[in-house]
Structure 1
Amino acid sequence: MARGLKHLTAMDAMFLYVETPEMPMHVSSLMCCTLPEGYQGDYFEDVKALLQARLHLASLFTSKLVQMPFDLTTPVWVEDENLDLDYHVRRMVLSKPGTREQLHALVARLQSSLLDRSRPLWEIYVIEGLENGEVAVFNKIHHAAMDGQGGVAVANMILDITPEPRAVRPPRTRLYRSNDQLGAAEMMSAGLGNTAGQVKKVATVFGQLLAMGSDKVINSISWKALLKSSKAVGVEAAEQSTPPPRERQRFAPTTVFNGSITNQRSVTSFSLDLAELKELGKSVDATINDMVMAICSGALRSYLSDANALPAKSMIGAVPYSMRAQGNTDISNQSSMGYMRLRTDIADPMRRLRAIQESSQAFKQDNAVFKGFALTDFPSVGLPWLLPMMVNFVTRARLAEKAPALANVAISNVPGPNMPLYFAGARLRTFAPVSIVMHGVALNITVQSYNGGLHFGVVACRRALPNMEDFAEDMLAAYEDLKKAIARHHRKLTKEANEANEAGNDALHNGVSSAPTGEKTKSPRAPIKRSKPVLVKVLPKPAAKKST
């Protein structure tokens, strides 16, 4: 018998339907690995052997997609009985000297090509010849198979926490008929059943919304603002009724990143010390996300200023946020998209950081109201026909160059493990994500924390951003500028505190000298110093002595 079919959710399937040669929809990562000291083996063969033993731990490695009859609904995952590991795992060698720039150029070329939909939607490249003796591993997985946090879950399946790979149980003997042998009638029946389930999910969510009660909904959000902002398709979503009104920006200004894209990419990666960045942020009450946004904003401002292309209005970032419930380990897509102002219109780094903190707070408020009710699956009848037609029209008509822009850049932060990991015995030194660009948003900056580092992966359409290494230098310079601005901020606060202290001392001193002659004066008080509160134990008064 055949086991139950697993359909793509409507959100997962969207990444298939909007994919074109110019817009590949796979997400990738670049890992630089240090081989064990004295290693004399063939690392490529070690990687293949490890994957062969662990492919069954994540179904996406052994499953391929099969379209439903007449494309009535979303495709289904079926087991690929003819999985060719030699196709999916490939060896690449950089020519000498094997610099970082050469590595990034190769990754950009690999990122540009589509995955073969007739096979499981993943590829892994073992890249040798780096000048520092390391080995790089570049992997591609289709976004239809997982989101960012799902990628972390998959990485945990194939990576180890020790140099010695852990033993895993071998796959069980299959006792069922492969799903790709099912007939059209069985597939149609499964498709109708899946659509019925999607309708039920939608009804459940609407029922939950109604159960919230009108008072709770009205207190949570201003419906007038919601209707107004919905015309902007989500930019600066519904205004909260409680906080004071804030400045709104319906659309993003037009920049070089807001045109139609080609299939050519430019890529770079670099790392920052997570502890240092976290401590800097903590000193000014800024989160890691605030600091990342400030670095990106500073780099964008610098890069576009040098090209005389900086818009007067603030640029807007498209920021994915997770809708994944705590403890949910399903690797399917469970995220949505919000928009926030990057305050590239502010020159001073410290003032810009404060403005970004305000934008971030507004972003959280705007997206918190219905976060628990966002749909990741919904009836998708007709989507397999409609969406590809729409995307083809947008591409041919070059609408991205004519329509108002919702965002200029996509920025995402994915939390990762804070411990060293190993892949086939080699230690991962860096773990840089490489994501997706689209028509109208030709630049993507994705950040992942790993083992005390904050690893940036930047990808762009090569036509929009040909000088990627220059942009990486701008990002590093923006971080240095931010550090200097925070240091100046602390010096200013210290100076103001000292001046206030001195002014208090002078006032007390002048008060004593100017007292009238013969009048009893109080001794001057020492300047007040803030300190931790001291707990004082109050003892009961002693009983009065009786008179004899």
Structure 2
Amino acid sequence: MATSAARLNVTDNSFLTLENHGGHMHVAGVLIFEGPPPPYDDVVERIQARLARVPRYRQKLADSPLRLGRPLWVDDPNFNIHYHLRHTALPAPGGTAQLETLVGRICSQRLDRTKPLWELWYVTGLEDDRFALIAKTHHALVDGIAGVDVATLLLDPVEDDGTRDGTAEWEPAAEPSDVQLAVAEVRDLLEGQWSVAKRALRALPHPRQAVQAAGEYLQGLRDFLGAVLDTAPPSPFNVAHGPHRRVTWFEIDLSEVKRVKNALGGTLNDVVVATVAGGLRSWMLDRGYPVDDVTLQAMVPKSVRADAERHAVGNRIAAMRAPLPVGVASPVERLRCVSAAMADLKSSKQVLGVEIYLGAQQFAPPMLLAQAARLNFSTRLFNLIVTNVPGPQFPLHMLGREMLSFLPIAPTPQGHTLGFGILSYNGKLGFCMIGDWEVMADIHDVADHIRAALHELQDAATAAESSH
């Protein structure tokens, strides 16, 4: 069955625009399974059968020769599962260090834009007879929530219930010609303008509601512009860098983070952000960087995906800013600062302002879209990405093997040499760090400082619990 063509939304398109020089805009996930590793052909058969559930994974980009707007997703008539699903093996001893090196190398290479924008690496040779899947997908294709949803579609919540997906032959739609692409682009632009006019006409009979909505929109834009004008400070994480990456990670019990939250207040996300701030503070102090009165800014993607959009690909996120108060020495006070700032953010209309800002770009020409994308991810606005995604709290399986770990890798746009991906899965919380190969050569030290910051909060939680 062929898949209908669809135009990239503004956010999807911005991730394509941002990919330049040493900046990569793919995201990745490391999925580690118990053994024994299944035969490669069985993995191919399973993934091939599940692709019908995510048809966008068999589509590629197609641009109009007019280049008046955003590209389309169209079926790739030359789609070949063996190009996308690759088999490799780790060198001995097949431990975490060898797997991290492989992930870093895979994340150092851009995806080929003439093909569907994803790769899946089947990795054998892990110690303890385990195996892994490394999924690399362009951010234009999925956001964090969508990536988790796609994983749950491709995997199984039970060990093996004996059911099999259909194996109907896929027939791609005919690839559109340049003339068809140009006609579709002009048609979409005209339809977009007409939809704006219709919305205005529908508001005329209801002036009170229109005025109220306009007031909320103006408040949202004011909150959004206030965040834009509040620039991020200079930091060692915002310097020129190359295309090569280092990756490391660790996991903790999710129950421990919840214990900190319950004892000290705030939300689970507040604890995560405060932990990152504490780790960066001690790392900066170790290297002689000033921290007094410094508050770094993190870009924290917030999902605005509706329930009806679950399991859909594409991006439905608003880029929010969260403070990283590295100038605050006390771990408890740091958490309070983060919690207060995040509470203010939730009560503001900044998310609405971001959506209005993105909506205004729907009909903008490519040059303006490129400028807007660079503004969204400018080092003037934030110092690093901290993405915290809730994953499934039950075990997933593939071909009867349980997935033991689900570890997310954040994108690394130009000018940002360090990023954090955090994901909860089946009672564990994975902290993943990706950094530039040269600038963040000591990325494992960053991980040690993050662990130490979490231990500080755990000790503070224990003290708070014993005082009650």
Matched, 1:459 2:434: yes
Q: CA deviation at 1:169?
A: 2.4
Q: With structure 2 as the length reference, what TM-score do the two structures score?
A: 0.89
- Structure 1 distance, partners of 2:208, 2:262, is 40
- In structure 1, give the amino acid aligned to 2:241: I
Residues 309 and 202 (structure 1 numbering): CA distance in 2 closer, same or farther, change over 3 Å?
farther
Instruction: Give matches, 1:415-454, under 5 Å.
Output: 415-454=390-429
Kindly indicate whether structure 1 or structure 2 has the higher relative contact order, using CA contacts under 8 Å at least 6 residues apart.
2
- In structure 2, give the amino acid aligned to 1:20: N
What SS does structure 2 have at the residue aligned with 1:448?
A: strand
- Structure 2 distance, partners of 1:197, 1:220, is 23
- Structure 1 distance, partners of 2:100, 2:307, is 35
- In structure 2, give the amino acid aligned to 1:168: D
Deviates more, 1:189-198 or 1:420-429: 189-198
Q: CA deviation at 1:100?
A: 1.0
Deviates more, 1:2-11 or 1:467-476: 2-11
Greater C-alpha Rg: 1
Q: Percent identity?
A: 28
Q: RMSD value over aligned CA atoms?
A: 3.1
Matched with 2:53 is: 57
Q: CA deviation at 1:202?
A: 5.0
- Structure 1 distance, partners of 2:108, 2:207, is 45
Contact 2:299 2:382 in 1 (8 A): yes
Contact 1:115 1:142 in 2 (8 A): yes
Task: Give the alignment partner of residue 361 of structure 1, picking from 327, 343, 361.
Answer: 343
- Structure 1 distance, partners of 2:431, 2:445, is 15
Matched, 1:484 2:459: yes
Q: For residues 251-292 of structure 1, give each alpha carbon's deviation from its aligned partner in whole angstroms, at most 9, with x where no partner exists.
A: 222111112221011111111111222133122332110111
Matched with 1:22 is: 22
Residues 116 and 373 (structure 1 numbering): CA distance in 2 closer, same or farther, change over 3 Å?
closer
Matched, 1:307 2:296: no
Residues 405 and 379 (structure 1 numbering): CA distance in 2 closer, same or farther, change over 3 Å?
closer
Matched, 1:251 2:231: yes
Matched with 2:184 is: 190
Matched with 2:173 is: 178
Matched, 1:320 2:301: yes
Task: Give the alignment partner of residue 75 of structure 2, picking from 69, 73, 79.
Answer: 79
- Structure 2 distance, partners of 1:103, 1:331, is 27
Contact 1:314 1:341 in 2 (8 A): yes
Contact 1:267 1:458 in 2 (8 A): yes
Q: CA deviation at 1:4?
A: 4.7
- Structure 1 distance, partners of 2:373, 2:265, is 43
Residues 357 and 91 (structure 1 numbering): CA distance in 2 closer, same or farther, change over 3 Å?
same
Matched, 1:345 2:321: no
Q: For residues 451-479 of structure 1, give each alpha carbon's deviation from its aligned partner in whole angstroms, at most 9, with x where no partner exists.
A: 11111221122233211111111111111
Contact 2:252 2:430 in 1 (8 A): yes
Q: With structure 1 as the length reference, what TM-score do the two structures score?
A: 0.77
Q: Which runs of 5+ in 2 are unaligned?
A: none
Residues 212 and 323 (structure 1 numbering): CA distance in 2 closer, same or farther, change over 3 Å?
farther
Matched, 1:147 2:127: no
Q: CA deviation at 1:77?
A: 1.5
Matched with 1:533 is: none
What SS does structure 2 have at the residue aligned with 1:295?
A: helix
What SS does structure 1 have at the residue aligned with 2:307?
A: coil
- Structure 2 distance, partners of 1:361, 1:468, is 31
Matched with 2:13 is: 13
Matched, 1:268 2:241: no
Contact 1:10 1:380 in 2 (8 A): no
